[in-house]
Structure 1
Amino acid sequence: MNEKQRKEANEIKEYSADVKSESNNNLNRLKNMESDELIGKYFQSTYQPPNLKKAKKRLKKDVDIHYDFSIPEEMKEIGKDKKFLIRTYGCQMNEHDTEVMAGLLTDMGYQITEDTKEADVVLLNTCAIRENAENKVFGEIGHLKPLKLENPDMIIGVCGCMSQEESVVNRILQKHPFIDMIFGTHNIHRLPSLLKEAMFSKAMVVEVWSKEGDIIENLPKVRKGNIKAWVNIMYGCDKFCTYCIVPYTRGKERSRLPEDIIQEVRHLAAQGYQEVTLLGQNVNAYGKDLEFDYGLGDLMDEIRKIDIPRVRFTTSHPRDFDDRLIEVLAQGGNLVDHIHLPVQSGSSEVLRIMARRYTRESYLELVRKIREVMPNATLTTDIIVGFPNETDEQFEETMTLMREVGFESAYTFIYSPREGTPAARWEDNIPMEVKKERLQRLNKLVNEQSKQAMEKYEGTIVNVLVEGESKKDPEVLSGYTERNKLVNFRAPKSFIGKIVPVKITNAKTWSLDGELVEETSEVL
């Protein structure tokens, strides 16, 4: 670096520090696009963004499990008389991560708020699965800028899966310098230290690890309510489907030890929780990285003996759904017979290009095995339409698979290229009008099959775990059956948190209406 370049770099550094100061003079400069670009250049030269190529590497290093986490002494009361807000986007794993971050902030003395204007710390826990999810986050970032200008002490952070993407981090560095910190999915336990740095640093704090994460067992959590709980049993995914960014943003598969999971579920049962959902990006690959022979079926076999009314798991990959798991689920009890089994496409050729590593025929054989021992099981799925090169005939194969399996619900998506994945390098050659027409036809079929499934419940009695008031009518309570059907009925608020029998009086496409009954001789 010559003298002129050194002088320029020092000027940029000093300028960026001024912009991050609390003076109104310098804060006004955030509105100037030239300033934004200048700051962006400085930050890019100072911080190393996440690297998707490094994230793809799966080293054989053993995963470290830590039981010694503690909040730094100087941060234990830093949030006294202050409030925080976390906006969560995406999957249940993000919801679980939010519970951990809420636990960390609460242990630092912060109180939760739902009002952005009251918040001293705002975190956006982001999702990278779909382009639409990213657009929502950047829209929210835009809304936060005026609040930051009004309150320079507010700390704004972006975390979650989007933070693990190079292009996203670079965009924030260049266009949104008022963001105080960016951290990734492997860095959540570092939140107290990152927050400290963001408070006292004049530069944006960026910490994103593009490597395998460790497992931190004793992190605090603030769960939503005391009725249903998420229990993370593993992290990451090794499947590398050609359209999916998750293996890059969540790292390699890492399983928690069975004894730690079982202890957590027992603790939740003792607290009165009525339902737990075991979580993993590829949940039925659980145990494959352990040094002993132990899988999801073995774990479920132990958890079914715990005194908690309902146990679910999500999300499954058909390739890892083995006979042992089916055998255990067939025993019933507190193991519910609702299985979410993403198929993505009904065409073997499309599945091959997606790198799903199963065929239409093997998927149908898996469904046959499940139906054989669990004839009343409810199956739901995920489907992508408009994948590159998908023909009309291949889409029709998806439609016929939908009918043949009899899915009672499906999450359906138009293919969305994610930068860094193999499919993003291919020509997205299905016109949008074709994609939309296919999605419309698929959704029509999904709605028909959902309505048909719901109609079978009319006149029957179901057990409903009451979660709270209906969003549409506070006089109506709502909850879910074992098979994940939403039920609305009138009853006293004292029933919230309990499992009660409800007679179904009316079936809609996506929900059931019913009336509370005192006794039941037959429950569906």
Structure 2
Amino acid sequence: MNEQQRKEMSHIQQGEPADVKSDQDNLERLKDKSSEDFMKYFETTYQPPSLRKAQRRRKEDVQIHYDFKIPEDMEEAGNGRKYMIRTYGCQMNEHDTEVMAGIFEEMGYESTTDTKEADIILLNTCAIRENAENKVFGEIGHLKPLKLENPDLIIGICGCMSQEESVVNRILKKHPFIDLIFGTHNIHRLPQLVKEAMFGKEMVIDVWSKEGDIIENLPRSRKGKIKGWVNIMYGCDKFCTYCIVPYTRGKERSRLPEDIIQEVRHLAAQGYKEVTLLGQNVNAYGKDLEMNYGLGDLMDELRSIDIPRVRFTTSHPRDFDDRLIDVLAKGGNMLDHIHLPVQSGNSDILKIMGRKYSREEYLELVRKIRTAMPDATLTTDIIVGFPNETEEQFEDTLSLVEEVGFEAAYTFIYSPRDGTPAARMQDNVSMDVKKNRLHRLNEIVNRQAAESMKKYEGEIVEVLVEGESKKNKDVLAGYTKRNKMVNFRGPRSSIGRLVKVRITETKTWSLNGEMVEETAEVK
């Protein structure tokens, strides 16, 4: 980067007086692909995340830290300023956003949902599907005029997309007005990164290609006091051929049981009614710890905590063991709604996907769950149109969906992710065929969902009331133990409570009902 470009970048970031047209000219020069000096600068100062290294790496020693604190010179950096975080993707990203929000608020920032009020905007990104990336890059384009109007505005990209070399290079080449890029392993460095973005002259990039340490005392700004997410582990070791997560989130690292239990006890003491244990492969919890202790053991200890509901997500069938089934079957605050991604109903496709279980093994696991918990609600994830998937293989998926009786499913058309083994396979299933298969699959899923709802008509269910219905402010909404949405009329004082509702109408994805007296028996 030559001296003129350094001055331009500094001018844009630090907000020296200039008109919008001047800023536009500066940004256009900086994003020019022919600007070799600009790219040479980053090539010598920035080492991008490497997907190849991520796949070859071995598990490193993971350190657990309890000493996080905001640097003294950043403790009041946000006074009089506002932050905004837009979150894409899974519950893990939502949880990361809670942590970043907590850090911002300890620095004195206030939250806002208005982009024009914000002094710093972060996009917490998802890399699981191409559509998710397209949404983020579309949003980056929408934010550019804000940067031109307000050069002091800090715009940052974080989350899983930031761990992809191709994404970072695209931002460097086409969106040089972005101030800050950081990944999933270094959220705890947010104060230092914000400081560099505020006072530095260059784009700040801080992305790691290795496992991160576990930072235990990070602040969190949770939404309400009804449902809380508790991260119990990070990363994934499975390396399914279509999945980018092991590259972006690293390999599996489990938190210590005592730290998790303490966090859940703290949430219970604050009045939370439900916690969801999070992990990319939550069933693998404890396998990296030097003790004979797994998810079933952790769940068994959480049974004694005075919190009404405990969930977990997301499961991998290969790691769903008998110990966990036995604990879930004990009931209490252990819920019998299980999300169990199958991805395909054909053993050959499962093998190509790298799932490491067969159709028969999956069905045997379902049989064990049904035997221990006859009324268990099972939901799943399914990919259609994977490379080389034949019509016959797809029909195996349809038959498995009907045999298991899934009550809901997240269904997707296969989306190649750059850097994964599947992306190198010939994608020989046409889009028309993929769409047709998705439609046929969804017809079955929708029918089964509607049928599963019908059995609730006239029944009294326990509902955790989360707030107003999105469609009608006069109606309250919440979820049953089996994760069924219920809409009903009742006093606003019911929000945050467990109430009893008699179901009067069933739909495909929700239930309508009326609140009943507390003396009624819940079935």
Name the TM tier (shorter chain): over 0.9
Q: Identify the residue that residue 515 of structure 1 maps to in structure 2.
A: 514
Q: Which moved more, 1:277-286 or 1:28-37?
A: 28-37
The answer to whether the 8 A contact 2:6-2:201 is kept is no
Post-superposition offset of 1:47: 1.6
Alignment-derived partner of residue 83 in structure 2: 84
Partners in 1 of 2:108 and 2:132 — Cα distance? 31
Q: CA separation of 1:34/1:500 partners in 2, compared to 1, >3 Å: closer, same or farther? A: closer
After superposition, the Cα gap between the structure-2 partners of 1:521 and 1:234, relative to the gap in structure 1 and judged at 3 Å, is same
Please name the residue that 2:25 is paired with.
29
Alpha-carbon distance between aligned partners in 1 of 2:66 and 2:244, rounded to the nearest angstrom: 30
What's the offset of the Cα at 1:44? Answer: 3.8
In the alignment, the residues of structure 2 paired with residue 196 and residue 11 of structure 1 have an alpha-carbon distance, to the nearest angstrom, of 23
Provide the C-alpha distance between the structure 1 equivalents of 2:212 and 2:432, rounded to a whole number of angstroms: 41
- Inter-CA distance 36–226: structure 2 relative to 1 (3 Å threshold): farther
Structure 1 alignment gaps of length 5 or more = 1-7
Contact 1:228 1:276 in 2 (8 A): yes
Other structure's SS at 1:116 match? coil
Give the deviation of 1:43 after TM superposition: 2.9
Aligned position for 1:449:
448
Amino acid at match of 2:55: K
- 1:233-255 per-residue CA deviation (whole Å, 9 max, x = no partner) reads 00000000000000000001000
- Tell me the secondary structure at the aligned position of residue 218 of structure 1: coil
Instruction: Give 1:3's aligned residue.
Output: none
Instruction: Report what 1:203 is aligned to.
Output: 202
1:93 corresponds to which residue?
Answer: 92
- SS in structure 2 of the partner of residue 479 of structure 1: strand
Partner of 1:365 in structure 2?
364
Counterpart AA for 1:32: E
Residue equivalent to 2:464: 465
- Counterpart-to-counterpart distance in 1, 2:43 and 2:520: 67
Q: Give the residue type in structure 1 aligned to 2:508.
A: T
Q: Quick one: distance in 2 between partners of 1:15 and 1:506? A: 62
Specify the SS of the correspondent of 1:252: coil
The one-character-per-residue Cα deviations of 1:317-357 (angstroms, maximum 9, x if unpaired) are: 00000000000000000011100000000000000000000
Figure out how many residues of one structure are paired with residues of the other and give that number.
Answer: 517
User: What secondary structure does 2:152 align onto?
Assistant: coil
CA distance in 1, matches of 2:14, 2:63: 39
Deviation at 1:31, TM superposition (A): 4.7
Alignment of 1:109-508 (within 5 A): 109-508=108-507
Q: CA deviation at 1:52?
A: 1.1
- For 1:326, what is the secondary structure of its paired residue? helix
Secondary structure of 1:500's match? strand
Amino acid corresponding to residue 29 of structure 1 in structure 2: D
Identity %: 74
* Cα 1:404–1:520 shift into 2, 3 Å: farther
Alignment-mate amino acid for residue 327 of structure 2: V
1:339-378: CA deviation from partner (whole Å, max 9, x where unpaired) = 0000000000000000000000000000000000100000
Per-residue CA shift, 1:376-397, capped at 9, x if unaligned? 0000000000000000000000
Question: 1:51-70 residue pairs with structure 2 within 5 A?
Answer: 51-70=50-69
Contact kept in structure 1, 2:313 and 2:339, CA below 8 Å:
yes
Contact 1:231 1:261 in 2 (8 A): yes
For residues 39 and 447 of structure 2, the distance between their equivalents in structure 1, rounded to whole angstroms, comes to 51
Mapped contact 2:119–2:154 kept (Cα < 8 A): yes
TM-superposed CA distance for 1:55, in Å, is: 1.9
TM-score (norm. length: structure 1): 0.97
Which structure 2 residue ranges, 5 or more long, are not aligned? none
Hey, what's the Cα distance between the residues in 2 that align with 1:453 and 1:494? Answer: 30
Query: How far 1:46 moved relative to its partner?
Result: 2.8
CA distance in 1 between partners of 2:251 and 2:165 (Å) = 18
TM-score in terms of structure 2 length: 0.97
Distance in 1, Cα, partners of 2:206 & 2:78: 22
Letter in 1 for 2:255: R
Whether the aligned pair in 2 keeps the contact of 1:30 and 1:178 (CA below 8 Å) is: no
CA RMSD, 1 decimal: 1.4
Is the contact made by 2:62 and 2:213 (CA closer than 8 Å) also made in structure 1?
Answer: yes
1:30 positional shift: 3.9
Q: Report the secondary structure of 1:483's partner residue.
A: coil
- In 2: Cα distance, 1:90 partner to 1:19 partner: 31
What amino acid is aligned across from residue 70 of structure 1 in structure 2?
K
Deviation at 1:62, TM superposition (A): 1.9
* Matched residue, 1:4: none
1:22 Cα offset (Å): 2.5
Q: Name the SS of the counterpart of 2:370 in structure 1.
A: helix
Question: Retained in 2: the 8 A contact 1:163–1:183?
Answer: yes
Q: Output the CA distance in 1 between the equivalents of 2:317 and 2:13.
A: 49
After superposition, give the CA deviation of every residue in 1:478-508 in whole Å (9 maximum; x if it has no partner): 0000000000000010000000000000000
Q: Conserved in 1, the CA contact under 8 Å of 2:27 and 2:177?
A: no
Provide the rounded CA distance (Å) in 2 between the counterparts of 1:369 and 1:174: 53
C-alpha contact 2:13 2:154 (8 A) present in aligned 1? no
CA distance in 1, matches of 2:314, 2:239: 15
Q: Secondary structure at the match of 2:465?
A: strand
- Using the alignment, how far apart are the partners of 1:40 and 1:125 within structure 2? 25
Conservation of the 8 A alpha-carbon contact between 2:12 and 2:151? no
* Counterpart residue type for residue 420 of structure 1: G
Mapped contact 2:59–2:251 kept (Cα < 8 A): no
- Displacement of 1:417 after TM fit? 0.2
Cα separation, 2, equivalents of 1:334 and 1:62: 35
Query: CA–CA distance in 1 between the matches of 2:388 and 2:375?
Result: 36
**Counterpart Cα distance in 2 of 1:135 and 1:28:** 24
Q: Secondary structure at the match of 1:410?
A: strand
2:116 is paired with a residue whose SS is helix
Whole-angstrom CA distance in 2 between matches of 1:45 and 1:9: 14
- Of residues 12-21 and 424-433 in structure 1, the stretch that sits farther from structure 2 once superposed is 12-21
Q: Quick one: which amino acid aligns to residue 27 of structure 1? A: D
Whole-Å separation in 1 of the counterparts to 2:31 and 2:143: 18
2:25 maps to a residue whose letter is R
Is the Cα contact below 8 Å between 1:476 and 1:489 reproduced in 2? yes
Are 1:278 and 1:314, in contact at CA under 8 Å, matched by a contact in 2? yes
- Contact kept in structure 2, 1:119 and 1:154, CA below 8 Å: yes
1:476, distance to aligned residue in structure 2 (A): 0.2
